[in-house]
A and B are shown apart, each in its own frame.
Chain A
Amino acid sequence: MTSTHESTGAKSGSGRNWLLLLLKARTFVALLLVLAFFSVMAPNFLSTANAILVSKHVAINAFLAIGMTFVIITGGIDLSVGSVVGLTSMVAGWLVLNGIDVGLGWSIQFNTLEIVLIVCLVGVFVGWINGILITRLNVAPFIATLGMLYVARGAALLFSGGRTFPNLNGNAEYGSDSFPLIGTGNFLGLPVMIWILIAVALGAAYIAGRTPLGRQIYATGGNERGAALSGVRVRRVKMFVYMFVGLMAAIVGLIIASQLRAAHPATGEFFELNAIAAAVLGGTSMSGGRGRIGGTIIGAFVIGILSDGLVMMGVSSFWQMVVKGLVIIAAVVIDQAQSRLQARVALAQEVAQSR
């Protein structure tokens, strides 16, 4: 009986279903559009060298956007990621240059792996503090992470008194000479940082789609009370997402310090806003409960390609900002239209079935 109803339902709503499919894939359509536009308008845009360059720019934002997507799905926000990038790159720079001075006339030096681990722990620790503020002390995520934005930036500046740590080439004696490879090395023809991004993105998508934790992240954002009454440990879920985004920020801090072979305390300013933009462009709902890792990565690519392409076309940076802003607003407007249409289609399906 259902088969006949489905077929009639499909016929009557086929135009609508087409539109819905198009709207669902809107970020992907946007990606194809910007790609097509710049391959025509900007010379050399389609070259391999340029593709890798753009990917490297995108990767920085994509890491943060992946973490941000989890946070936003739980209904929160993390404004501190940009500052944590600055802080963690300063920590990395300090460890490479000075090690830890224990004050006895000698210091502990670390190899690259140890530096990476320590820096990641710093990022996770900042996320842990954010999580404690939000889950235990009931501070609104916006306020808690806004505070952390200032604290982490201030800490980064205090590290060096505002100066840059230059020449982070590492020291072969200590085993830290491989440090610059994180941001500049290649493996099988692709930059190492792109491999890291691929691994992180696959891991995050796996968590979101195929683990109970992922399901609980969505449930927490969709209805916190309902999730809690269903046995979801909402506090743990929130702790996880803020620690995860802290880890992402640490990875970005490492990559930037390694790429530039220098750590500057102002690194990462406004990165949080780019990350939010990529997540929203990729279909993440700011009210929580909805979002996809794949969508976020495509969103990061749209933003990255847009800015790099406009640079290559010689458009002024002032106009770039305007264009970026318009694209983000348009994305949300289309998003609203899609949810309305989707609700209508689902309702029509139920009506068709009950008939």
Chain B
Amino acid sequence: MTPAPNEEAHPVGLTIRGASKVYPGTVALKNVDFDIRMGAVNVLVGENGAGKSTLMKVIAGVEPLTEGEITVAGRPVVFRTKDDAAANGIGIVFQELNLFPEMSVSENVFMAREPLRFGIDIDRESVEERTRLLMHRLEQDIDPNTTLGHLRIGQQQIVEIAKALAQDAKILILDEPTSALSATEVEVLFRIIDELKVQGVGIVYISHRLDELIRIGDYITVLRDGEITGSRPMQGVDIPWIVQAMIGGESKDFSQSLSHEFGAEVFRAEDITLPKLGGGFMVDHMSLSVRAGEILGLYGLMGAGRSEFLECIMAQHPEASGRFFVEGEEMREKHVAGRIARGIALVPEDRKRDGLVQIMSVRENITLSSLAQFTTIFHLSLRKEAARALEFIKRMTVKVASPDNPISSLSGGNQQKVVIGKALMTGPKLLLMDEPSRGIDIGAKAEIYHKMRTLAAEGIGILFVTSDLEEVLALSDRIIVMADGRISGEFDSGAKAADVIAAASPGKTRNPGNIMNKEAVS
């Protein structure tokens, strides 16, 4: 464990007092107080939608505060843009890398801040020299002239850190830096973080991997629904404490379980394997089965291979191997259309990119997968189509003035209902849902949970993927936890939150129960 942090040794570099951030319709931050201590790792943890990202965006100058004030080294400051924040020594590395794969490492590091010779052309030598120094500081043997795309993802992450340091960052925010890294790359990153600490850099570290936080953190702050629910030095903090602060005592109002018997097995996957670029597996010999009327929750961290597994079921990865069975018969269809015909339907994670055709109307979107139902030979009956679209719009309680309005004019929750409606219209036996409640408001969430319950009661098997612990615990009849592309735990509906989180930590897939015991002992 980390040695006891000395409060004197870690002066407060940045403070936020009484911070509130209101978006139309939601309050993302409520009266938040947060300190960043220099020369230490300030860990920030919370569930999806708890307000971590909003808080970081405020600190990085991406979003302004509605109320509250920020002080840096005792001076009150107002960050209007990212540049204001950078001028005050704040650097941020977002979860999604913002790099240019076709350009060299040094060009990436100094992107849009290139030092110029006589204000005209780029001083290449200085760019290269300074990049070399940064890489030396980070103890990385990366040539500044390498094309960025040729680097491993972990090295790219380090380039992103170098980019922040090149702006003299005294405070470095790392948003889920390890989600895409291998175990050895994580070690390298942790060493770099230790060195930066010694150099007096204040680090804000956001992650879902609790054991990682406990290992690296000096101070911990927990957010829940936009409020701070715990803030203290890391000494004595253990996973149960974090979980308690993260999800609180009482559960939110999830739809009550409609009790019903499960039917026969409706879907089975056997030994599904999807190789990863550069070795290893995205999906590593996965097998599972779903029964009719059962809601199976697939929980795991980002990059655990959950979405990829669903994509394999939906024939998106021709290189994947393994076998699928629908109601006992093997599914050999190579096309999405064929698999839909076998009774599989997918509600994708990214509504905008994968779920909807933004330019089309609500009606055209909701019927897109089921056009054959209204077609005789080649003639499409618009009358039948409109009637069916209206039926599903009512059934899914989509709020829309007219089915012919463009889908883009709807709110996120209503768009999601259209995507689910589209999947249901195909008459599925198994409904795959990837993060079904992402990016929609609480009211719509409750409706969608209720809908899932109802569908299961009607005998449809549901396999849903989520990173929301509360959601998976409350909604699932059975929980399967994935880590590193493998099943790392299986629980019944009454599972303990801490057990599920523990199983989801990568690198521990062999023995899911172990780390809990270790924590308890130490």
Partners in one complex: yes
Known: A231-B340, A346-B409. Is A226-B355 also a contact (CB below 8 A)? yes
Smallest CB separation, A123 vs chain B (Å): 22
Q: Contact between A232 and B337 (Cβ–Cβ < 8 Å)?
A: yes
Known: A223-B358, A233-B335, A289-B360. Is A213-B378 also a contact (CB below 8 A)? yes
Interface string of B366-399 (1 = CB under 8 A from A): 0011011001001110100000000000000001
Q: Contact between B378 and A212 (Cβ–Cβ < 8 Å)?
A: yes
B360 touches which of A222, A343, A352, A353 (Cβ 8 Å): A222
User: What's the Cα separation between A222 and B375 when bound, in Å?
Assistant: 22
Known: A290-B359, A343-B406, A349-B401. Is A227-B353 also a contact (CB below 8 A)? no
Tell me if A's interface is mostly helix, strand, loop or mixed: helix
User: Is residue A211 within 8 Å, beta carbon to beta carbon, of the partner chain?
Assistant: yes
User: Is residue A229 within 8 Å, beta carbon to beta carbon, of the partner chain?
Assistant: yes
User: Is residue A350 within 8 Å, beta carbon to beta carbon, of the partner chain?
Assistant: yes
List residues of chain A with CB within 8 A of the CB of B479: none
Known: A212-B371, A213-B378, A346-B405. Is A353-B399 also a contact (CB below 8 A)? yes
Smallest CB separation, B300 vs chain A (Å): 21
Interface string of A194-224 (1 = CB under 8 A from B): 0000000000000000111111101100110
Q: How many residues does chain B have at the interface if contact means C-beta atoms less than 8 Å apart?
A: 38
List residues of chain A with CB within 8 A of the CB of B355: 226, 229
B354 touches which of A226, A232, A233, A290 (Cβ 8 Å): A226
List residues of chain A with CB within 8 A of the CB of B316: 229
User: What's the Cα separation between A89 and B440 when bound, in Å?
Assistant: 58
List residues of chain B with CB within 8 A of the CB of A4: none
Q: Contact between B399 and A227 (Cβ–Cβ < 8 Å)?
A: no
Q: Contact between B380 and A230 (Cβ–Cβ < 8 Å)?
A: no
Known: A211-B380, A215-B364. Is A343-B354 also a contact (CB below 8 A)? no
User: Is residue B346 within 8 Å, beta carbon to beta carbon, of the partner chain?
Assistant: yes
User: Is residue A347 within 8 Å, beta carbon to beta carbon, of the partner chain?
Assistant: yes
Name A1-56 residues within 8 Å CB distance of B. Answer: 2, 6
User: Is residue A334 within 8 Å, beta carbon to beta carbon, of the partner chain?
Assistant: no
Interface string of B326-350 (1 = CB under 8 A from A): 0000000001110110000010100
Name B241-258 residues within 8 Å CB distance of A. Answer: none
User: What's the Cα separation between A343 and B399 when bound, in Å?
Assistant: 17
List residues of chain A with CB within 8 A of the CB of B375: 211-212
User: What's the Cα separation between A104 and B364 when bound, in Å?
Assistant: 58
List residues of chain B with CB within 8 A of the CB of A163: none
Q: Contact between B337 and A233 (Cβ–Cβ < 8 Å)?
A: yes
User: Is residue B455 within 8 Å, beta carbon to beta carbon, of the partner chain?
Assistant: no
List residues of chain B with CB within 8 A of the CB of A138: none
Name A226-277 residues within 8 Å CB distance of B. Answer: 226-233
Q: Contact between A219 and B357 (Cβ–Cβ < 8 Å)?
A: yes
Q: How many residues does chain A have at the interface if contact means C-beta atoms less than 8 Å apart?
A: 33
Smallest CB separation, B90 vs chain A (Å): 36
User: What's the Cα separation between A346 and B402 when bound, in Å?
Assistant: 10
Q: Contact between A350 and B409 (Cβ–Cβ < 8 Å)?
A: yes
User: What's the Cα separation between A40 and B406 when bound, in Å?
Assistant: 42
List residues of chain B with CB within 8 A of the CB of A219: 357, 360, 364, 368
User: Is residue B138 within 8 Å, beta carbon to beta carbon, of the partner chain?
Assistant: no
Q: Contact between A215 and B368 (Cβ–Cβ < 8 Å)?
A: yes
User: What's the Cα separation between A200 and B364 when bound, in Å?
Assistant: 25
Q: Contact between B401 and A353 (Cβ–Cβ < 8 Å)?
A: yes
User: What's the Cα separation between A290 and B359 when bound, in Å?
Assistant: 8
User: What's the Cα separation between A134 and B91 when bound, in Å?
Assistant: 43
Q: Contact between B379 and A210 (Cβ–Cβ < 8 Å)?
A: yes
User: What's the Cα separation between A346 and B403 when bound, in Å?
Assistant: 12
User: What's the Cα separation between A211 and B372 when bound, in Å?
Assistant: 10
List residues of chain B with CB within 8 A of the CB of A353: 399-401
List residues of chain A with CB within 8 A of the CB of B339: 231
Q: Contact between B369 and A230 (Cβ–Cβ < 8 Å)?
A: yes
User: What's the Cα separation between A347 and B405 when bound, in Å?
Assistant: 9
Q: Contact between B378 and A232 (Cβ–Cβ < 8 Å)?
A: no
B380 touches which of A210, A231, A346, A354 (Cβ 8 Å): A210
Smallest CB separation, A294 vs chain B (Å): 16
Name A336-354 residues within 8 Å CB distance of B. Answer: 342-343, 346-347, 349-350, 352-354
User: Is residue B54 within 8 Å, beta carbon to beta carbon, of the partner chain?
Assistant: no
User: What's the Cα separation between A57 and B339 when bound, in Å?
Assistant: 48
B336 touches which of A230, A289, A349 (Cβ 8 Å): A230
Q: Contact between B364 and A229 (Cβ–Cβ < 8 Å)?
A: no
Smallest CB separation, B394 vs chain A (Å): 13
Count of A-B contacts judged by CB separation below 8 Å: 100
Known: A223-B358, A229-B348, A231-B369. Is A218-B364 also a contact (CB below 8 A)? yes
List residues of chain B with CB within 8 A of the CB of A350: 400-401, 405, 409-410
Q: Contact between B357 and A349 (Cβ–Cβ < 8 Å)?
A: no
Most buried by B among A223, A225, A233, A290: A223
User: What's the Cα separation between A228 and B314 when bound, in Å?
Assistant: 10
Q: Contact between A226 and B357 (Cβ–Cβ < 8 Å)?
A: yes
User: What's the Cα separation between A6 and B357 when bound, in Å?
Assistant: 26
Most buried by B among A6, A226, A346, A353: A226
Smallest CB separation, B439 vs chain A (Å): 16
Q: Contact between A347 and B378 (Cβ–Cβ < 8 Å)?
A: no
Smallest CB separation, B456 vs chain A (Å): 23
User: Is residue B408 within 8 Å, beta carbon to beta carbon, of the partner chain?
Assistant: yes
Q: Contact between B380 and A2 (Cβ–Cβ < 8 Å)?
A: no
Q: Contact between A354 and B340 (Cβ–Cβ < 8 Å)?
A: no
User: What's the Cα separation between A350 and B409 when bound, in Å?
Assistant: 7
List residues of chain A with CB within 8 A of the CB of B170: none
Smallest CB separation, B179 vs chain A (Å): 23
Smallest CB separation, B371 vs chain A (Å): 4
Most buried by B among A229, A342, A353: A229
Most buried by A among B357, B358, B372, B409: B357
User: What's the Cα separation between A229 and B371 when bound, in Å?
Assistant: 14
User: What's the Cα separation between A152 and B369 when bound, in Å?
Assistant: 38
List residues of chain A with CB within 8 A of the CB of B426: 231
Residue of A nearest to B399 (CB): A354
User: Is residue B501 within 8 Å, beta carbon to beta carbon, of the partner chain?
Assistant: no
Smallest CB separation, B399 vs chain A (Å): 7
User: What's the Cα separation between A233 and B369 when bound, in Å?
Assistant: 11
List residues of chain B with CB within 8 A of the CB of A214: 380
Name A283-325 residues within 8 Å CB distance of B. Answer: 289-290
List residues of chain A with CB within 8 A of the CB of B379: 210-211
List residues of chain B with CB within 8 A of the CB of A290: 359
User: Is residue B208 within 8 Å, beta carbon to beta carbon, of the partner chain?
Assistant: no
Known: A349-B401, A349-B409. Is A229-B360 also a contact (CB below 8 A)? no
Smallest CB separation, A2 vs chain B (Å): 7
Smallest CB separation, B473 vs chain A (Å): 29
List residues of chain B with CB within 8 A of the CB of A2: 401
User: What's the Cα separation between A212 and B357 when bound, in Å?
Assistant: 15
Q: Contact between A215 and B409 (Cβ–Cβ < 8 Å)?
A: no
Residue of A nearest to B314 (CB): A229
User: Is residue B422 within 8 Å, beta carbon to beta carbon, of the partner chain?
Assistant: yes
Known: A211-B380, A350-B409. Is A229-B359 also a contact (CB below 8 A)? no
User: What's the Cα separation between A290 and B369 when bound, in Å?
Assistant: 19
User: Is residue B356 within 8 Å, beta carbon to beta carbon, of the partner chain?
Assistant: yes
Known: A212-B378, A226-B356. 17 other contacts (CB 8 A): A6-B401, A210-B380, A215-B380, A219-B360, A222-B357, A223-B357, A225-B354, A226-B355, A229-B354, A231-B339, A231-B368, A289-B360, A346-B409, A349-B409, A350-B409, A352-B401, A354-B399
Pairs A–B under 8 Å by Cβ, sample size 12 = A212-B375, A214-B380, A215-B364, A216-B371, A218-B364, A222-B357, A223-B353, A226-B355, A231-B426, A289-B360, A343-B406, A347-B409
Q: Closest 4 A-B residue pairs measured CB to CB?
A: A222-B357, A212-B371, A231-B337, A289-B359
